[in-house]
Amino acid sequence: MKIKVIDAICGAGKTSYAIQMMNENTKVKSIGLETGILYRSNKKYIYVTPFLDEVTRVINDTKAIFSEPNVKYRGSKLEHLKFLIENGESIVMTHVLFSMLDEETLDDIRNEGYTLIMDEVANVLEQLITTSNDINYLLKLNAISIEEKGKVRWIDDEYNKNLNNSFDYLRDLADTDNLYIYNEQAMFWTMNVKAFTSFEEVYILTYLFDGQIQKYYYDLHEVEYEKYSVKYENNKYHLINYDSKADKREEVAKLLNIYEDYQHETGRKSTLNSNYDDFRLNVNTDFYLSTTWFNKAQECNTKRLNKNLYNYFRTQVPTKNENIFWTTKKQYASILKNAKTKFNKKDDRTKDNFISLNIRATNNYSHCTATAYVYNRFMNPMEKGFFEVRGIEVNENLLAVSDLVQFLFRGCIRNGEVMNCYIPSSRMRNLLYKWMNYEI
């Protein structure tokens, strides 16, 4: 079984194709005066989506009956999910619930012959809170052994007596084949690969998959996949061999009014960018606004950046706050908030215009006409090393531009309207231009 990755730009029709496919596999079961038309699906589906409002869309737009796990069943959505799978019902759920599937439930999925449709990639890798001292301690006690590809095996039968239960969570992950090590420095949880191989068919709906961690995870586990684009023709969505030109990026480029590092009238460098002094002094700006830069930034730098954000939305592109959305790494948002870029420290997004860096699959900001992406995206060094030490090549630039494009598509460009963009990292802007020209 090869996983089908539908790699298409936002608005191309990935979800519409999936709904069309499910409806084509649904037949009329019966027609009654009281019941109306009842449908029967030829296949059993599990549809996974990031947001609850998408759950509602799938339920409303498909003919087949989809069940949504409910906490009222024995007080647990997970228990209800297991019950629905045992009964072979089609199910729609969030990514969070999908990540909780245990081995027994995955075996039930295999036995029932389910098809998986996953809207956006899953969180398949997570660094655990451990230290190199913890790892060395466990190795010296012969509590763990390191197997092929760095998989951790728990071998201490006397664990409870020796370690006072302080590493219970690591033992449990090792026992379910979900624990991996990197250079005796860090440990990682990985999603059980059976979460994908237990299905008869798998469809992943995403964009720029080659830059996603899930792609490298598939390479790690030698999971085969094929990429497709979506084409709408003769009133129907079709899968075609992957073609980046199907993105029509040149049309997206026309909708992005990107603020640059120069003044159009004079061609001089603009003081609106916080890296103005770096340019004058010929300092390498490739890492400007990265996590490392923020961690080391002086107060004068962050104050300048804050002021620039305000000036951009106040004078360069005067915009009402309700028509602005912006982002940075969340831990730095409080030092950049101002009268234009709002941030609620209690995470009440109804009281600000801040959104998460990695937000996907939401239309809540499609009315916004101006945005700021205040970050320079690099892969977590530990995650990067985790894959590279296993011979898996990662593409940091594609990962960065993938996140940026996904972010920009939250705004009004998804409606075909022009949007003003402030992207103060020159590296991120250049990657965006390369993407526009099909160079990445």
Nearest alpha carbon to residue 57 among 119, 120, 121, 123: 119
- pLDDT single digits (tens) 375-403: 999 999 999 999 999 999 999 999 999 99
Distance CA 117, CA 22 (A): 10
Do 13 and 113 belong together in one domain? Answer: yes
Chosen domain end from 205, 222, 246: 246
Which pLDDT score is estimated for 255?
A: 98
Do 325 and 201 belong together in one domain? Answer: no
Question: CATH number, domain at 106?
Answer: 3.40.50.300
Chosen domain end from 175, 190, 205: 190
The residue segments making up the domain with residue 310 are 249-436
Nearest alpha carbon to residue 338 among 304, 364, 369, 365: 304
Sign of CA dihedral 386, 392, 397, 398: negative
How many C-beta neighbours within 10 Å does residue 194 have?
19
- pLDDT single digits (tens) 171-200: 889 988 899 999 989 999 999 999 999 999
Distance CA 93, CA 304 (A): 44
Do 319 and 413 belong together in one domain? Answer: yes
Contact criterion met (CB below 8 Å) for 403 and 410:
no
Residues in the chain: 440
Do 225 and 277 belong together in one domain? Answer: no
- pLDDT single digits (tens) 330-359: 999 999 999 999 999 999 999 999 999 988
Do 31 and 107 belong together in one domain? Answer: yes
Do 305 and 392 belong together in one domain? Answer: yes
Dihedral angle, C-alpha 11, 12, 13, 14, nearest 10 °: -100
How many Å separate Cα 384 from the centre of its chain? 16
Q: What is the mean pLDDT of the chain?
A: 90
Question: CATH number, domain at 363?
Answer: 3.40.50
Dihedral angle, C-alpha 426, 429, 433, 439, nearest 10 °: 70
Answer yes or no: pTM beyond 0.85: yes
Do 118 and 204 belong together in one domain? Answer: yes
Distance CA 115, CA 67 (A): 15
Nearest alpha carbon to residue 250 among 13, 439, 15: 439
Contact criterion met (CB below 8 Å) for 174 and 146:
no
How many helices (H) and strands (E) in the chain?
Answer: 18, 19
In the three-class reduction of DSSP (H, G, I as helix; E, B as strand; rest coil), residue 117 is classed as strand
Do 215 and 180 belong together in one domain? Answer: no
- pLDDT single digits (tens) 302-340: 999 999 999 999 999 999 999 999 999 999 999 999 999
Q: Amino acid identity, residue 313?
A: F
More reliable by pLDDT, 277 or 326: 326
Do 146 and 265 belong together in one domain? Answer: no
Contact criterion met (CB below 8 Å) for 105 and 199:
no
Do 51 and 107 belong together in one domain? Answer: yes
Do 291 and 306 belong together in one domain? Answer: yes
- Structural domain count, the chain: 3
Do 277 and 387 belong together in one domain? Answer: yes
Distance CA 440, CA 433 (A): 9
The beta strands (E) that lie in 177-224 are given as: 179-182, 186-190, 201-206
